[in-house]
Every structure is written in structure tokens, then in C-alpha cells.
Amino acid sequence: MAEVRIFGLPGIPEVRAGDDLAGMIAAAARGAGGLEAGDVLVVTQKVVSKAEGRIVDLATVTPSRFALDLASQWDKDPRQVEVVLGETKRIVRMGHGVMICETHHGFICANAGVDASNVERTGTVCLLPVDSDASARAIRARLRAELGVDVAVVVSDSFGRPWREGIVNFAIGCAGIAPLLDYTGQHDPAGYELRVTAMAVVDELAAAAELVHGKLARTPVAVIRGAEYTRGEGSVREMIRDAERDLFR
Amino acid sequence: MAEVRIFGLPGIPEVRAGDDLAGMIAAAARGAGGLEAGDVLVVTQKVVSKAEGRIVDLATVTPSRFALDLASQWDKDPRQVEVVLGETKRIVRMGHGVMICETHHGFICANAGVDASNVERTGTVCLLPVDSDASARAIRARLRAELGVDVAVVVSDSFGRPWREGIVNFAIGCAGIAPLLDYTGQHDPAGYELRVTAMAVVDELAAAAELVHGKLARTPVAVIRGAEYTRGEGSVREMIRDAERDLFR
């Protein structure tokens, strides 16, 4: 019987700018008895961003006139709004004190992924990594080099969704895994040919990992063992729907 | 170390209209060595709908003028379009041959959840259950009565999402679990008070279960053991964002 196991990787210390995150994960994995080929490591965006120095001290930010106007409408910190605008390619919706932004990567999420929680010091905010696929590739390469094991790596962040309450984890970067598991052209048990049925397996893995990441626990790396996926170079860019085919831009 | 385990419940036979699905799940659980208190059973919509007779033979459907027009524009079966319209409270978007519908339950998804795959006979389509919370409650009550164990039950279906490729599992019904795990007012390790951070735990459980449900495998019931959640009566209605607060209606 196929079984999927998800557990947090213990022994990751507090991550700071410039830390060798890939090395910390490799050391923690070795300490936990190693990894198995095919494991998926889901790493939270927050530790990737911290290691990569994607932290902005709001004291260094001068808000623009637009940021000042928005902030006063919505009772926000204008410097934080300025940081959000800097991470934004296009504002998709504004309202109810919320900015839904398309980031320079193409992700669509509240505040362009800029977040003030789980940072080391108040007065600082955390940005998304510049290229989370590259971050995932670096961790994967390091694990292969140091532990001799071939794993997939997913970088996750929690986003809200239209129409539904609550946030869930999404993949914002991946390596060693095809992000979509495509059933198109295969047949169900009744012989019906499945059409346009690709499972967003990286998002399902990210969501599953959140069951052990927790929001308050310091468990930034989850290991998922036993999940079915297609190996491949992979890039989360494949997950971003073309604007022309999107009904909600 | 907290560990979450996910496995398919073996021994569920092909489900047909009128079948006692709760009894079948209880028998399968007993055959698999029982369940543990706190387990979460994630049951696919398809078997719930089948057991509840939510299958429509398209030969019995007379399409309206509107359904005929849409079907000819998009090269679809007008009878299937008619069934979709019957399940629809409001059409949220139409385009690219896709209808994004608000169902009578309040879910927003393609084709109001009407689906032609994994049904027994071609020429039939499957509708969402009338009340998936009630379906989940019935399964939960039966497992408590027959196995003496207190579990949570989630009914899942796979939906597309705006902006992202691929489909993922969402919860469309639940029992014995608070659908949102609310961290509001709690503090992160740095002392920052978390605001409006509720995890959509039922959706994360549904997504995690898909890792063993598979799309082609006959594994309609997954057991998730070891996940943290808040017990409660619960209803997926709590997951539906009020239209007034929603920027994407």
C-alpha cells in the first residue's frame, strides 16, 4: 500500500542573511539519518528569503506620493506600501485595504508577497526570493553533492485565494520535479479519456508540507517521502497561466 | 518529531447509486485494522455523488435555447451545458470555452462541478453532492457508531484556480473539524503579532490526500494520521468568502 510520510527536518537553526541555507539543510538531513532518493523537501520562502538577504529595513525606505496616498486611505505604513509597489509589476485588484499584485515573477498574491511576520526585527519586512527556482536548484545540487541523493526541492509560500477564506501553501520555486502531473489522454477506469486534467502536484506538495511546517513552529523544512511525481528539471514558471488565457486578471 | 502519514484505504469496491458508502468505508476501515482517534478521512466527491445518485443521464436532458447557443459556440454537448446551468446560481466568468460558475452551494468552479470523467457509463455526468457537509457528517457518525472512534471527514473535489495552471483538491464538505486554523493574535517567534492568518486546513488536507488518491487509481478514501487540527462541528460554508469582501466575483 502506497503511503506518503511528511515530517519536519529537525535541527535547522535560526536563519540569517548570508547564511549557507543549503549547507544547513544538508547538515540537518545528515543529522536526521539522511534522505532517500525521491524525497521532496519543501522549504518555506521565509528562510530562503532570509538567507538571501531579502529583508528590507523600513527606516531606509522613502515612500512615494502614491504610497503615501494608499497608506493613508488604508491606515498602513507608507514605507511598507512603497516596498510592495517596488515588488509589483501590475496591481490586479485594490480594495478592502488589500492590494492583489502581480509580482515581477508573475505570481499574483496579496502585497506582492511582502510580509512583516516571522522576521527577526520589527521594522523590517521580507520580500520573495528573486528566483525561487534557482534557490531550489541550489539546495538540490548541494544535497546531491553532500549526501549523494537525488531529491526534489519545492520553495513554498502561503497565499490567499479568491472566493475562499484562509491561506494555503503554494509552490513559488521547484527543482527536480515536473510541477504538473499530466493525465491528459489517459483513460479513467470506465474508459473515459481524461481531458485537460493536470494535477498541480507542486502546489499539493506545498500544501501537504504546511501540515508539519506550522505557522508558529520553527520547522522551515518538511520532507515528503513516498509521493508520486515526475522527475524533471522543472520550473514554477510552468505554473503561471498565460495572461491571455486567464479570466481573472 | 511530529509526523503526518497519508495512505489510501484499501477495499472500497466500485460505488453505485444507492450504495451505503458510510458502511463501505466502515467495513474497509475495519479490514485495514481500524482507525485512530483524530484521523482525517478525505473522501472524493465522485464516490459521494455516485452513492447519493447524483448522476444524470444526458439522454433525459432537453437543452434550453441558451444552452444550445453556448454549446454551439464552444463545440460542447448542449445537454451537458444544460446540466451545468441547472447547477449554477451565477456565472462568474465565461470565455475560452470555460464557464466559471457559482454553484447553489456557493463554490466557484468550472462547469459548476459537473464532470463526465470517472462515471460508470459514457453519456452520463456527475453532479456535486447536494450537501457535502451532511455527507461528511453521515460518514463520521457511522464510523463512530461502528468503530467507536472519533475522526474528522473531508469531502474533496479538484478545482482549477485563477492565475495558476493545474488543478488541486479543495474541501467541499467537512465534519468534526474546524475548517480554518486561526493564528490571529498569536505571536511568531520574534514576538510579531500575526494578523488575519488563518490557514485553510481543510483545503490543505484535501490537497495532501490527492497525493494518494491519484486520478486513475481507485483510491477514493485517504486516511491522514497525525495532522494538527481543531476539532469542532465544522462546515465548509465557513470557507466561502462573503461576496462583499471578494475582489474577484
ipTM higher than the 0.90 cut: yes
From the candidates A5, A170, A211, which should be mutated to test the interface with B, based on the most B CB atoms within 10 A?
A: A211
**Average pLDDT for A129-135:** 98
Domains in chain B (CATH in brackets) are: 5-49+129-239 (3.30.1330.100), 56-125 (3.90.1660.10)
Our separate counts of H helices and E strands in chain A read: 6, 12
User: CA-CA distance, B39 to B180, in Å (whole number)?
Assistant: 17
| pLDDT value for A245 | 86
| pLDDT value for B95 | 87
Question: Residue B169 pairs with which residues in a beta bridge?
Answer: B158
| pLDDT value for A26 | 97
| pLDDT value for B81 | 96
| pLDDT value for B197 | 75
Tell whether B37 is within 8 A of chain A (Cβ): no
Chain A residue closest in CA terms to B11: A1
Query: pLDDT per residue over A197-245, tens digit each?
Result: 799 999 999 999 999 987 655 799 999 999 999 999 999 999 999 988 8
| pLDDT value for B191 | 67
Secondary structure (H, E, C), B63-123: CCHHHHHHHHHHCCCHHHHHHHHHCEEEEEEEECCEEEEEECCCCEEEHHHCECCCCCCCC
Identify whether the C-beta of residue A130 lies closer than 8 Å to the C-beta of residue A116. Answer: no
Could you state, in chain order, the average pLDDT of each consecutive group of 10 residues for chain B (249 residues)? 89 94 97 95 96 96 97 93 97 91 96 85 92 98 97 97 95 98 74 74 97 78 96 94 90
From the candidates A164, A182, A235, which should be mutated to test the interface with B, based on the most B CB atoms within 10 A?
A: A164
User: CA-CA distance, B249 to B77, in Å (whole number)?
Assistant: 27
CA nearest to B73, candidates B98, B100, B97: B97
Tell whether A180 is within 8 A of chain B (Cβ): yes
Query: pLDDT per residue over A23-72, tens digit each?
Result: 999 999 999 999 999 999 999 999 999 999 999 999 999 999 999 999 99
Identify whether the C-beta of residue B102 lies closer than 8 Å to the C-beta of residue B108. Answer: yes
| pLDDT value for B168 | 95
Are B166 and A198 inside 8 Å of each other by CB? yes
pLDDT of A194 > 80? The answer is no
Q: In the numeric block, which cell numbers belong to residue B15? A: 460505488
User: CA-CA distance, B129 to B53, in Å (whole number)?
Assistant: 9
Identify whether the C-beta of residue B202 lies closer than 8 Å to the C-beta of residue B174. Answer: yes
B76/chain A closest Cα distance in angstroms: 13
Residues in A touching B93 (Cβ below 8 Å): 247-248
Tell whether B184 is within 8 A of chain A (Cβ): no
| pLDDT value for B116 | 84
- A&B contacts, CB < 8 Å: 231
Q: Write the residue in B163, B187, B241 that is nearest to A241 by C-beta.
A: B163
Tell whether A1 is within 8 A of chain B (Cβ): yes
Tell whether B117 is within 8 A of chain A (Cβ): yes
User: CA-CA distance, B4 to B6, in Å (whole number)?
Assistant: 7
Chain B residue closest in CA terms to A169: B204
| CA quadruple A40, A42, A47, A48: dihedral sign | positive
Three-class secondary structure of residue B135 per DSSP: helix
Q: In the numeric block, which cell numbers belong to residue A163? A: 472566493
Q: With a CB-CB cutoff of 8 Å, which residues 197-226 of chain B face chain A?
A: 197-201, 203-205, 207-208, 210-212, 214-216, 218, 224
